């Protein structure tokens, strides 16, 4: 128990140092409710809406109308959890999608995923991103909310070596190491968030048994 608490504390400190928001939840229902409250507070993604005040073709007008609603992407979720999330989305007027994220490349407000592991040393999430939909949810959403079971936190990346070696035995596969929100300083060495990925990363540490 003490070791688990120490790993969690170290993970939270490291993740917050790279602009992630770390919170603790006791159930998947609480994690989903957190994501929904966050989605309700944010403004709808405006990338597709910009320019809608101009004269557009009928097809473009339909696209503008469709994007007025917020979009929450939650690929590879368990049926019980997606049903609960779907109920909350319907109540809030949020459009919930589980697949076909490639058709929404400019308009996903929030991605909701479950991480495979966390690395305490660097505050990093490790995710099996073989699924294109899951991969896109972590890359093109304005806000990424990731659930991390507390028992899946490891001290360093070396502690994952054996587990990852077993996973890599089956191809094709794709693993992502996500540390903080997207950031770059390519332009005049000025730090900018969200250029190559989500503006915000929220990590919900799931503490249930």
- Report the distance separating Cα 63 and Cα 65, nearest Å: 5
Q: Prior bond to 47 cis, omega within 30? A: no
| Residue from 113, 209, 117, 115 nearest 163 by CA | 117
Apex CA 199: angle with CA 87 and CA 156, to 5°?
95
- Report the distance separating Cα 119 and Cα 172, nearest Å: 24
Domain that holds residue 7: 2-206
SS3 88: helix
Tell me the CATH number at 37.
3.40.50.10420
The upper half-sphere exposure of residue 99, i.e. CA atoms within 13 Å in the direction of its Cβ, equals 3
Each of the 209 residues of the chain gets a pLDDT tens digit; together they read: 677 889 999 999 999 999 999 999 999 999 999 999 999 998 776 554 455 556 667 776 666 555 567 999 999 999 999 999 999 999 999 999 999 999 887 679 999 999 999 999 999 999 999 999 999 999 999 999 999 999 999 999 999 999 998 888 877 789 999 998 866 656 666 555 545 668 899 999 999 75
* Total tally of structural domains belonging to the chain: 1
pTM: 0.85
């Amino acid at each position: 128990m003490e070791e688990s608490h120490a790993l969690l504390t170290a993970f939270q400190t490291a993740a917050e140092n790279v602009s992630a928001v770390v919170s603790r939840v006791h159930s998947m229902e609480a994690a989903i409710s957190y994501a929904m409250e966050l989605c309700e507070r944010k403004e709808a993604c405006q990338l597709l809406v910009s320019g809608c005040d101009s004269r557009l073709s009928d097809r473009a007008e339909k696209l503008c109308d469709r994007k007025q609603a917020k979009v929450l992407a939650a690929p590879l979720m368990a049926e019980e959890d997606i049903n609960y999330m779907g109920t909350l989305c319907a109540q809030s007027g949020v459009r919930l999608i589980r697949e076909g994220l490639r058709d929404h490349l400019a308009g996903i407000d929030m991605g909701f995923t479950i991480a495979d592991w966390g690395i305490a040393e660097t505050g990093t999430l490790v995710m099996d991103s073989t699924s294109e939909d899951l991969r896109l949810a972590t890359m093109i959403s304005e806000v990424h909310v990731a659930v991390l079971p507390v028992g899946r936190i490891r001290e360093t990346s070396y502690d994952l070596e054996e587990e990852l070696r077993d996973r890599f035995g089956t191809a094709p596969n794709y693993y992502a190491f996500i540390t903080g929100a997207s950031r770059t300083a390519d332009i005049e060495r000025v730090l900018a968030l969200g250029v190559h990925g989500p503006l915000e990363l929220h990590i919900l540490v799931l503490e249930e048994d």
